[in-house]
Amino acid sequence: MFSSARSSLTAIAKRQFASPRTRNASSLADTLSTLKGEHFMTIDQLTNDELKGLLNLSQKYKDIYSDKSNPNPKPLDGDSVSMIFQKRSTRTRVSTETGMALLGGHALFLGPSDIQLGVNESMRDTASVLARFNSLVLARVFSHSDIEELAKYSTVPIINALSDLHHPLQTLADIMALQQHFGADLEGKTLAWVGDGNNVLHDLMLGCAKMGMSVNIATPTGYEPNAEILEKTKQLAAENGGVISTTTVAADAVKGADVVVTDTWVSMGQEEEYAKRVKDFDGYQVNNDLMGKANPGAVFLHCLPRHPEEVTDEVIYSDQSLVFSEAENRMWTVMAVMAAQLGKVE
């Protein structure tokens, strides 16, 4: 589940829930009521029911707000979110600002020139001040310790919009895209990750495991995912009927996969490593040949922005690609998270 903003001045709350497989919420609002006032830090903080509830609410919002023929509800009228960006992002900024406006609220962008976390003002003071102005604080940061410190001192819910360890909002958008293509039940599907064992992979493999999917991970030697998060993913997979496997051979991971995913090989802040990383990832480009080793009807995901060394035009612009639905879903899913955190799910 989310970690608590209400008690975070002393510690990030940890609560135990009954097995999500035995929980029978009477409605979507009931299912997500446990998330009111909570921080959103990682996907594995959610129970299985909460994860599925957020995905259901995201699809509900897409259905409602895509229909321009009727007045749209404004459940977050009077609410606001501060958006702290240490790292730039087209999709995160546009999806959050637009989504908050659709819900009737206001979003405020704070870039590096507006706010320097822990530099001119302590993290604790920043969290305390923003919490007095805003209903929510979304932060896209370099270090996961920064998002944890914000959550520790904020009295309003924090949203982790990306850190060096986790990217839970992206996982919601990815899984939503897969549900839109394959149907709500993803149990038994296999996802292949081909590339860097990074923050995007961390939450995606956790989320897939919770959905009953298997995950095949191919990374070059030295680019493996975080060992602790990988072990946690294996435990979740065992609980939900999936299997997690690792390899250094891209073709081996893709064999038998229903979904093929990659991400940038060179993240922001790693530009000086570009030449080395491109060399290390030789053979990891997702192209027609690699996609041909996956199951018939396999689809492709990439969280964007993409570079040609990672995936060819023939794949990303093909009928197999769900990339742009995936990008659109960033808005519907952040809308669901914000509404759930504020306890205003209608």
The four Cα atoms 319, 323, 328, 329 give a dihedral, to 10 degrees, of: 100
Question: What is d(CA 310, CA 288) in angstroms, rounded to the nearest whole number?
Answer: 12
**Bond into 168 cis (ω within 30):** no
Q: pLDDT value at position 190?
A: 98
CA-CA distances (angstroms) from residue 148 to 89, 141, 188?
20, 11, 34
* Predicted confidence (pLDDT) at residue 178 exceeds the cutoff of 60: yes
- According to DSSP, the β-strands at 299-302 and 259-262 are parallel
- C-alpha pair distances (Å), 186 with each of 50, 167, 176: 16, 21, 10
User: What is the pLDDT, as a whole number, of residue 9?
Assistant: 42
Confidence of residue 309 (pLDDT cuts 50, 70, 90): very high
Average pLDDT over residues 236-243: 98
Q: Say which residue, 195 or 18, is predicted with more confidence.
A: 195
Mean pLDDT calculated for residue range 128-156? 97
Q: Which residues contact 150 (CB under 8 A, 6 or more apart)?
A: 117, 123, 126, 127, 137, 139, 158
If one compares 225 and 14, the residue with the highest pLDDT of the two is 225
Q: Are 134 and 24 in contact (CB under 8 A)?
A: no
pTM for this structure? 0.92
| Exposure of 284 in the CB half-sphere (CA atoms within 13 A) | 28
Which of the residues are catalytic? 303
- Alpha carbons 81 and 114: distance in angstroms, whole number: 15
State pLDDT tens for residues 198-234.
Answer: 999 999 999 999 999 999 999 999 999 999 999 999 9
Residue 2's pLDDT is what? 66
